[in-house]
Amino acid sequence: MGNSTSFAGLSLALSTLFALAAASPVPALDGASALRWAGGKEVDGFDTGKGELKITFLGHASLVFEFGGFLIYVDPVKQYGDFSKFPAADLVLVTHEHGDHLDPGAITALSKTGTRVVLPEASRRKLGSGEALEHGQTLTVAGISVKAVPAYNVSAGRTGYHPKDRGDNGYVLTVGSLRVYAAGDTEPIPEMADLGPIDIAFLPMNLPYTMTPEQAAQAARVIRPKILYPYHFGDSDTALLKSLLTGEKEIEVRLRKLP
């Protein structure tokens, strides 16, 4: 009789547990899951030692970094996503003022109370709002460090696209043990030698505005990221970049949908 009572009690407990589970609401999508659901975009995940960093590749120079539910959009442009369907940004980083990087409509669609928009001073003036972050300055938010670094053209005939004196930004983000470099629109510049260790780098590669594949390979050899994503590459030959770096066994070139 004692065993029968125990089994009956266990059966009742399990029935109650299953009933409660069935009645529980479906968990809300986290930021990166919502992005995948909304846009079917590619997502890579990385162990930071303090949790996973998810990077969503929207297109061109538009990226999303998600860490512990905190969402950072880099150069969001509505051509690369219907941001009315995406979760709102905690932080927006803008590299410079060109329309394929600074899109006021996209920023408005992604904004909520408390969203911070960080950008160079020239871009802040053009947008009419936001926080200017100058080269060498760092902000820390949600345990993530964001440092502004220079981005500009140096080749003859190209310096008018991204002049050095305008102060365009690249950004180095430190997330746990990882350091991620989003270069913005730039060519190989001396300041790249001072970035420090970089785990993941995004380098632009299209003419006449940024780099050739050969220049991108040159920059990669200076920066020496563990993982290199060419981005903002238009019609440039990403396979050529990969070929140029085949001898660099410590640099993995990853190709994603970022034309």
pTM of the predicted model, to two decimals? 0.85
With a cut of 60, say whether residue 9 has pLDDT above it: no
Confidence of residue 39 (pLDDT cuts 50, 70, 90): low
Label residue 231 exposed, middle or buried (CB < 10 Å: 0-12, 13-18, 19+): buried
Q: What is the pLDDT of residues 186-213, one digit of tens each?
A: 999 999 999 999 999 999 999 899 999 9
Confidence of residue 33 (pLDDT cuts 50, 70, 90): low
Q: State mean pLDDT over 171-187.
A: 97
CA dist 54 and 59 (Å) reads 16
Domain ranges of the chain: 30-253
Q: What is the pLDDT of residue 207?
A: 87
Higher pLDDT, 9 or 255: 255
Please report, to the nearest 10 degrees, the dihedral formed by the alpha carbons of residues 75, 78, 82, 86 taken in order: 20
Confidence of residue 176 (pLDDT cuts 50, 70, 90): very high
Contacts of 257 (CB under 8 A, 6+ apart): 41, 42, 57, 59
CA dist 190 and 166 (Å) reads 17
Q: What is the pLDDT of residue 8?
A: 42
Label residue 19 exposed, middle or buried (CB < 10 Å: 0-12, 13-18, 19+): exposed
Q: What is the pLDDT of residues 97-146, one digit of tens each?
A: 999 999 999 999 999 999 999 999 999 999 999 999 999 999 999 999 99
Q: What is the pLDDT of residue 174?
A: 98
Strands 227-231 and 178-182: unpaired
* CATH number of the domain located at residue range(s) 30-253 in this protein: 3.60.15.10
Strands 227-231 and 252-253: parallel
**pLDDT > 70 fraction of the chain, expressed in percent and rounded:** 85
- Stated as kind and residue range, the H or E segment containing 156 is none
With a cut of 50, say whether residue 5 has pLDDT above it: no
With a cut of 70, say whether residue 215 has pLDDT above it: yes
Rounded to the nearest integer, the mean pLDDT of the chain is 87
